[in-house]
Structure 1
Amino acid sequence: MSTLEKLRIDKWLWAARFYKTRSIAADEIAKGRVLINEQLCKPAREIKVGDQLTIQQGQIEKVVMVRALSSVRGPAPVAQTLYEETQESIEKRELEKERRRFIHEPADDYTKGRPTKRDRRELEHWRRVF
């Protein structure tokens, strides 16, 4: 870690190992899935120590505080020292994890591609019933 005062958000997200490449980080920022201090931003926006980031990755949302800046991608234990996740964010993620564990999402059954012959027979059966 160096003694930087400001750093591009896409570069920091890559160095902190939230995204595998800087281009993926830039795309996610452009899509509005990363907020700085609860505001939309662009990939070139500079962050500083103490900023609050809200990062949406799939169904998971993390709220982290920037603790240090680094422009190089290092090992995971070093990357984890760059930020600190808020306690509310951790609790919210744990509750969501428990909810997903006990509640079955019906749409998950149909995300595997085209229906099989068995699936089509079941659909036809339900059409005749109703």
Structure 2
Amino acid sequence: MAPAQSGTRNTATQARVDSWTWAVRLFKTRTAAAAACRGGHVRVNGAAAKPAHPVHPGDEIRIRTGGVERIVIVERIITKRVGPPVAAQCLIDRSPPPPPREILATMPRRDRGAGRPTKRERRETDRLLGRDEG
């Protein structure tokens, strides 16, 4: 039997990206975090990350969920889910502010199941998003 370590604190230097994003409350479940990683919605330092990708303090994590991108910097490594005040101390949130409600209200929306957009609707969307070529 190994002797018990008394009084030493186990401070991890790395953790899995799915475990860390779940622990700091960026996802509701670890399964959702892993699915986002597998779907290519999570990037660590600019590279797509699989669920087991290790994260270290100072890494930049970009998460795209619900059409919104979250950008966080890892401050502290944790692997167990904690309360919101503790989770806030484990990351630095560099996410851009959400667009004002006035702009969101003016963006065109298609009814669900309305089919593919027409050429005119694609042009309008490109113009709104700044992707027009001329």
TM-score normalised by structure 2 residue count: 0.71
Q: Deviations over 1:98-128 (max 9, x none)?
A: 521x414331xx23x79xxxxxxxxxxxxxx
**Distance in 1 separating the partners of 2:73 and 2:102:** 25
Change in CA separation of 1:98 and 1:38 when aligned onto 2, cut-off 3 Å: farther
Identity across the alignment (%): 30
Of 59, 65, 78, the match for 2:73: 65
Aligned to 2:64: 56
Aligned to 1:103: 106
Gaps spanning 5+ residues in structure 2: where? 1-9, 115-134
Of 25, 46, 56, the match for 2:33: 25
Aligned 1:106-125 pairs, distance under 5 A: 106-107=109-110, 110-111=111-112
Of 80, 90, 97, the match for 1:82: 90
Change in CA separation of 1:43 and 1:95 when aligned onto 2, cut-off 3 Å: same
Change in CA separation of 1:98 and 1:12 when aligned onto 2, cut-off 3 Å: farther
Q: Deviations over 1:56-107 (max 9, x none)?
A: 0111101110011111111111111111112xx33xx33365521x414331
**Which residue identity lines up with residue 27 of structure 1 in the other structure?**
A
Change in CA separation of 1:77 and 1:52 when aligned onto 2, cut-off 3 Å: same
Of 14, 28, 42, the match for 2:22: 14
TM-score normalised by structure 1 residue count: 0.73
3-state SS of the aligned residue for 1:94? coil
**Which residue identity lines up with residue 103 of structure 1 in the other structure?**
T
Gaps spanning 5+ residues in structure 1: where? 115-130
3-state SS of the aligned residue for 1:64? strand
Higher-helix-fraction structure: 1
**Distance in 2 separating the partners of 1:39 and 1:96:** 30
